[in-house]
């Protein structure tokens, strides 16, 4: 685009846990002046609400019945992404091992996905300069018309090493097993499973530094913008 008034650009970044989606998406959005949405945080937030309200996580009917109740609000500034449930800041509580172990079951419930998908589409539509949205089903289901779709991968070993580096003291082997279990649940659910869209660019980050992955995505966005 000429005269600096770039059209909004929508970037979808999907992939399994620990492939670098959050770090890459935040940095790309910040560099390009775009909004940023962590959709995993939204699924974690609704899971946190279910746990806090004593909903039986093994009962999809019970989850479906209350899926519309919590008000989940995401702040989309990549320098300060926020997440609240009914006005309470839940950025910390949504990262506990308990929520992490229950989020796949809650996010497999179709009523939960419908609710959260609607929020995601509305945030993407209102992002004036565009947005980087990261998750599991963004390119396939939430934003199938995204300008650019990226699917990040990495070996289970690399992903487990990265995650246990974050969770101080966590043992790599048990982190690896937990990751593999969550990926299997996310990939095998019926409603919008974790999957690469046919038109997504796959980037294997196993041997790349975070800076290299960011540069790769920024370059791909530039190429898309040039032909828009």
Ligand X SMILES: Nc1ncnc2c1ncn2[C@@H]1O[C@H](COP(=O)(O)OP(=O)(O)O)[C@@H](O)[C@H]1O
* Beta bridge partner(s), residue 36: 132
> End-to-end distance of the chain based on CA atoms, in angstroms?
8
15 marked as binding residue: yes
Q: Which residue has the tokens 């005269």?
A: 3
Q: Tell me the window of 41-49, 121-129, 184-192, 202-210 that interacts with ligand X (CB under 6 A).
A: 202-210
From residue 67, alpha-carbon distances to 50, 61, 102, 114, 133 in Å are: 9, 10, 15, 9, 22
DSSP 8-state secondary structure symbol assigned to residue 200: P
Is residue 39 part of the contact set for ligand CDP (CB under 6 A)?
A: yes
* Beta bridge partner(s), residue 198: none
117 marked as binding residue: no
Is residue 208 part of the contact set for ligand X (CB under 6 A)?
A: yes
Cβ neighbours around 71 below 10 Å, total: 12
Q: Residue 135: name its binding partner from ligand X, ligand CDP, none (Cβ under 5 to 8 Å by kind).
A: ligand CDP
The answer to whether the beta carbons of residues 14 and 21 sit under 8 Å apart is yes
| Position among 74, 76, 175, 205 found at the interface with ligand X (CB under 6 A) | 205
Is residue 159 part of the contact set for ligand CDP (CB under 6 A)?
A: no
CA 218 – CA 150 distance, rounded (Å):
11
Best CA proximity match to 217, nearest among 123, 137, 157, 151:
151
Stretch 83-142 residues interacting with ligand X (CB under 6 A): none
Kindly give the interhelix angle for 97-107 and 172-188, rounded to the nearest 10 degrees: 20
The distance of closest approach from Cβ of residue 94 to ligand X in the complex, given in angstroms and rounded to an integer, is: 13
The distance of closest approach from Cβ of residue 5 to ligand X in the complex, given in angstroms and rounded to an integer, is: 31
Q: Tell me the window of 15-23, 62-70, 79-87, 105-113 that interacts with ligand X (CB under 6 A).
A: 15-23
168 marked as binding residue: no
Q: Tell me the window of 28-36, 100-108, 169-177, 206-214 that interacts with ligand CDP (CB under 6 A).
A: 100-108
Q: How many CA atoms lie within 13 A of 1 on its CB side?
A: 11
**What kind and span of H or E run contains 202?**
strand 201-204
Is residue 182 part of the contact set for ligand CDP (CB under 6 A)?
A: yes
Nearer residue to ligand CDP within complex by CB, 137 or 147 = 137
Is residue 9 part of the contact set for ligand X (CB under 6 A)?
A: no
Structure tokens of 213? 């992955």
Is residue 210 part of the contact set for ligand X (CB under 6 A)?
A: yes
19 marked as binding residue: yes
Q: Torsion-angle region of residue 33: left (phi > 0), alpha (psi -120 to 50) or beta?
A: left
100 marked as binding residue: no
Q: Residue 102: name its binding partner from ligand X, ligand CDP, none (Cβ under 5 to 8 Å by kind).
A: none
Rule CB under 6 A: which residues touch ligand X? 15, 17-23, 162, 166, 205, 208-210, 213
Residues of each annotated binding site for ATP: 15-23
């Amino acid at each position: 685009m000429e005269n600096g008034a770039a059209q909004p650009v929508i970037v979808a970044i999907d992939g399994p846990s620990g492939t670098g989606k959050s770090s890459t998406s935040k940095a790309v959005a910040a560099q390009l002046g775009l909004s940023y949405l962590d959709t995993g945080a939204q699924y974690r937030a609704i899971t946190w609400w279910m746990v806090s309200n004593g909903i039986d996580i093994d009962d999809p009917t019970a989850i479906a019945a209350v899926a519309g109740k919590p008000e989940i609000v995401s702040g989309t500034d990549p320098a300060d992404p926020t997440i609240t449930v009914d006005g309470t800041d839940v950025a910390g509580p949504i990262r506990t091992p308990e929520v992490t172990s229950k989020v796949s079951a809650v996010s497999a419930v179709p009523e939960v996905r419908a609710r959260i998908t609607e929020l995601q589409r509305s945030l993407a539509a209102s992002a004036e300069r565009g947005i980087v949205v990261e998750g599991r089903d963004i390119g396939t289901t939430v934003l199938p018309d995204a300008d650019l779709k990226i699917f990040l991968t990495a070996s289970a070993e690399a992903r487990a090493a990265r995650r246990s580096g974050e969770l101080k003291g966590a043992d790599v082997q048990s982190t690896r097993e937990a990751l593999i279990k969550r990926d299997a649940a996310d990939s095998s659910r019926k409603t919008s499973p974790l999957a690469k869209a046919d038109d997504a660019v796959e980037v294997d980050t196993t041997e790349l530094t975070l800076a290299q992955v960011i540069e790769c995505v920024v370059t791909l966005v530039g190429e898309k913008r040039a032909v828009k």
